[in-house]
Amino acid sequence: MEQKTIKFGKNLVSTKECLAEGHNFCTGCGEALAIKLACKALGENVIIAMATGCDEVCTTPLPYTSWRVPWMHTLFENAAAEISGIEAGLKILMKKGRMSEKDIKCVAMAGDGGTSDIGIQALSGAFERGHNFLYICWDNEAYMNTGIQRSSATPYGASTTTAPAGKVSIGQTTWKKNMVAIAAAHDIPYAATACPSYPFDLMNKVKKGAEVKGPAYVHILSPCPTGWRYPSDMTIEIGRLAVETGIFPLYEVEDGRYKLNIDRPKLKPVEEYLKLQGRYRHLLDEEINKIQERVSEEYSKLKAKVVASAA
C-alpha cells in the first residue's frame, strides 16, 4: 500500500490507519478517536502493551484483531510492567545481536482505572526504573467497559453506577486524582495532557513522549457519550469545553518545566460543560459553584507552576 502523507504545519501525518476499521467501539467514542490519532503519531515501528478495558475489548475479539502493529494484552493492572519486560527484552536481544538494531517504540496503554487505580503500582515501578517507554492513559473518567463504575479519576459530582446520585448523594464526592502530577513527581522527562478535540496537539505530544529517552506519560481525556450521557455527535465539543472551561487544561511537564499549550485569557464557566452531560444533570447551583471554585483554583495553581517554570 502506497503511503501518503498530509501536511499540517510542521507535522506530517500518515494516512495509514494502524487501528483497522471494523472495531467495536461505541459511536462517537472519544477514546477510539484518540487511539487512532495516537497511532498516527507513533507510526509502525512500535509495540503496544494494552491493559484490559474498552480499548482492548473493542479491538480484539478472537479470532479478529484491529491491530496492524504488534500488540499484546494480558491483564488489567500490569501494562506498565509488561512494557518494562518488552523494553528490556528488545534491548538485550539487540545487545546480544539476536535481533537487528532498530528504534522500536514501546508503548503501554490503559484506561483511567487501569492507570490511576489498579495499575498505579506497576506504573510507578516502571517510571522509577526508568524504562524507555511511553505510557498513555485513556481517561474516560470511570470504569466504562464494566458499566460506568466510579474510579479515582471520576470527577466530583458525576453520577456513576457505583457512586450514583441519589436523594442524599451527589454521586462522586471526591475530587479527581491528579495523575499527571503523580507521574511528574517521578521526575520523568515528559508528562502531558491531551484531548482528541485538539488532534494535532495530541499527536505532537504522543510523538514527543515516544521519542523522549526514558519514561513518558500522556494523559488523554477521552469523552465517552455512553458513560457521560451526551449525544454521540458532541464528543469533540465536549472535549473542547473541558479545555476551555479549565476543567482539563492542556499542558506539558518537560524535565520538570510546566507549559500550558492552550491558555485562554478567560475561561468559560464550568456550567457550559457540565450542563451538556447527563452524569451531572442532578447538580444544583451550589455544587456547580463549588466545582467552579475548585477549577479556578486548580487552574491558578497550574498557571503558577508555569510561571515558576519560566522564571
Partner 1 sequence: MSRRVALEASFAAAEAAKMADVDVISAYPITPQTHVPERLAEMVADGELNAAYIPVESEHSAMSACLGAAAVGARTFTTTAGQGLELMHEAVYVASSMRYPIVMVICNRALSAPLSVWGDHSDAMAVRDTGWIQVFCENNQEAFDMTLWAFRVGEDPKVLFPVMVHFDGFTLSHVTEPVILPEQSEVDKFLPKFRYLFALNPDRPMTHGAFGPPEIYSETKIAQEVAFRKSKEVILQGWKEFEDIFGRSYHPVEQYKTEGAKTLLLTMGSYSETAKIAIDKKRDNGESTGLISLRLWRPFPFEEFRQVVKDVETLIVFDRCISSGMGGPVFSEVRSALYGEEKRPKVVSIIGGLGGRDVSEKDFGYIIDRGREIAEKGSDKMLDIVGIRGEMVDIRG
Query: In this structure, what DSSP letter does residue 269 have?
Result: P
When asked if residue 29 is in the footprint of partner 1 (CB under 8 A), the reply is no
Beta pairing class for 251-254 and 257-260: antiparallel
Q: Work out how close the CB of 19 gets to partner 1 at its nearest, in angstroms, rounded to a whole number.
A: 12
The binder of partner 1 chosen from 14, 85, 146, 234 (CB under 8 A): 85
The binder of partner 1 chosen from 15, 27, 65, 174 (CB under 8 A): 65
Q: Work out how close the CB of 100 gets to partner 1 at its nearest, in angstroms, rounded to a whole number.
A: 9
Per the document, the length of the chain is: 311
C-alpha cell read off for 3: 503511503
- Using alpha carbons, list the distances in angstroms from residue 258 to 145, 204, 252, 295: 33, 16, 6, 18
The binder of partner 1 chosen from 4, 7, 10, 96 (CB under 8 A): 96
Point out which span in 62-70, 170-178, 201-209, 250-258 binds partner 1 (CB under 8 A).
Answer: 62-70
Q: Work out how close the CB of 238 gets to partner 1 at its nearest, in angstroms, rounded to a whole number.
A: 29
- Using alpha carbons, list the distances in angstroms from residue 95 to 8, 210, 283: 38, 21, 58
Q: Which is nearer to partner 1, 45 or 174 (CB)?
A: 45
99-138: contacts with partner 1 (CB under 8 A): 99, 102, 104, 121-122, 124-125, 128-129
Q: Work out how close the CB of 189 gets to partner 1 at its nearest, in angstroms, rounded to a whole number.
A: 20
Q: Report whether 248 contacts 195 (CB < 8 A).
A: yes
Nearest to residue 227, comparing CAs of 172, 187, 269?
172
Q: Residue 137 is inside which H or E element, if any?
A: strand 134-139
Task: Please tell me the distance from the alpha carbon of residue 247 to that of residue 232, in angstroms, as a whole number.
Answer: 21
134-153: contacts with partner 1 (CB under 8 A): none
Nearest to residue 42, comparing CAs of 239, 208, 174?
208
When asked if residue 56 is in the footprint of partner 1 (CB under 8 A), the reply is yes
The binder of partner 1 chosen from 15, 17, 70, 181 (CB under 8 A): 70
Our measurement of the distance from residue 81's CA atom to the centroid of its chain's CA atoms, rounded to an integer in Å, reads 18
Q: Which is nearer to partner 1, 107 or 202 (CB)?
A: 107
The binder of partner 1 chosen from 57, 260, 276, 288 (CB under 8 A): 57
When asked if residue 44 is in the footprint of partner 1 (CB under 8 A), the reply is yes
Q: Work out how close the CB of 160 gets to partner 1 at its nearest, in angstroms, rounded to a whole number.
A: 24
Give the total of residues touching partner 1 (CB under 8 A): 50
Task: Please tell me the distance from the alpha carbon of residue 223 to that of residue 206, in angstroms, as a whole number.
Answer: 18
Nearest to residue 281, comparing CAs of 290, 271, 291?
271
Q: Report whether 124 contacts 84 (CB < 8 A).
A: no
Q: Which chain residues interact with partner 1 by CB under 8 A?
A: 44-47, 49, 56-57, 60-65, 67-75, 77-78, 80-93, 95-96, 98-99, 102, 104, 121-122, 124-125, 128-129
